[in-house]
């Protein structure tokens, strides 16, 4: 099963993907997490991506498509029932390249989850986000605090704030989303695979809506 997860920055994609990946035995592939790992390791790709990420712009399509093709190929070899793609595709060109790559392998996108959150909520969600540098789990200082302040519940690592989670970069990321990523809602709407979920409500409520959709797909 191939699931895509669309939504603006800070909508709650990563938070929900962690849960869905555990529950449905899916491999969670977050393009943002993969890029941050490349940066940490100092690879060529990480260096090329750096200035785009720091300013809230998108990394060029050809770099992202090559990176994600490799990750999806590697995930297909693992013992999971599918993949959930978080943060990819983010442009029409990326979506078309993904469709083509899947067609070449006799595969297709099964469902596109679109997490809808009002713009005025996103800035507070992102500036209050704290993430685990080891496992990527996201917390929020008010809405989803860890059990011990600043320590990851899963692996005990000290939480960090992403360098691009500042108010100025957040505004640029939201603008980038509306210009380049929101058109994908129509693209997948026409394909008949799109399911939109209200992400303005508390985390557990969003999880219930998403689970109801995936339970329906598994039946």
Q: Minimum distance from CB of 79 to ligand ADP (Å)?
A: 25
In terms of CB distance, is 63 or 79 closer to ligand ADP?
63
Which residues lie near ligand ADP (CB under 6 A)?
7, 9-15, 31-32, 35, 52-53, 56-59, 64, 87-88, 90, 94, 125-126, 128-129, 138-140, 143-144, 173, 199, 202-203, 206
Q: Minimum distance from CB of 76 to ligand ADP (Å)?
A: 19
DSSP state of 157: P
Q: Are 30 and 136 in contact (CB under 8 A)?
A: yes
In terms of CB distance, is 27 or 140 closer to ligand ADP?
140
- State the Cα torsion 74-89-129-43 to the nearest 10°: 50
Specify the residue for token string 């380049």.
Answer: 180
Q: Minimum distance from CB of 64 to ligand ADP (Å)?
A: 4
At CA 6, angle to CA 179 and CA 188, rounded to 5? 85
* CA dihedral for 126, 130, 134, 137, sign (positive or negative): negative
Annotated catalytic sites, by residue? 13, 90, 129, 162, 173
In terms of CB distance, is 64 or 109 closer to ligand ADP?
64
How many other C-beta atoms can be found within 10 angstroms of the C-beta atom of residue 25?
12
């Amino acid at each position: 099963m191939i699931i895509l997860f669309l939504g603006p920055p800070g909508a709650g994609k990563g938070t929900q993907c962690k849960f869905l990946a555990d529950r449905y035995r899916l491999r969670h592939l977050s393009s943002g997490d993969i890029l941050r790992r490349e940066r940490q390791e100092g690879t060529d790709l990480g260096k090329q991506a750096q200035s785009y990420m720091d300013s809230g712009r998108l990394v060029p399509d050809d770099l992202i498509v090559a990176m994600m093709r490799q990750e999806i190929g590697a995930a297909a070899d693992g013992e999971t029932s599918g993949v959930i793609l978080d943060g990819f595709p983010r442009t029409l060109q990326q979506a078309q390249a993904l469709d083509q790559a899947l067609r070449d392998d006799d595969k297709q996108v099964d469902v596109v989850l679109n997490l809808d959150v009002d713009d005025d909520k996103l800035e507070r969600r992102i500036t209050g986000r704290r993430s685990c540098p080891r496992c990527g789990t996201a917390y929020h200082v008010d809405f989803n605090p860890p059990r011990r302040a600043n320590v990851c519940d899963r692996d005990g690592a000290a939480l960090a704030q992403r360098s691009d989670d500042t108010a100025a970069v957040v505004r640029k990321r939201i603008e980038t989303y509306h210009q380049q990523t929101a058109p994908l809602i129509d693209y997948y709407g026409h394909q008949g695979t799109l399911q939109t979920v209200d992400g303005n409500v508390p985390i557990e409520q969003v999880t219930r809506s998403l689970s109801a959709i995936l339970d329906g797909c598994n039946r």
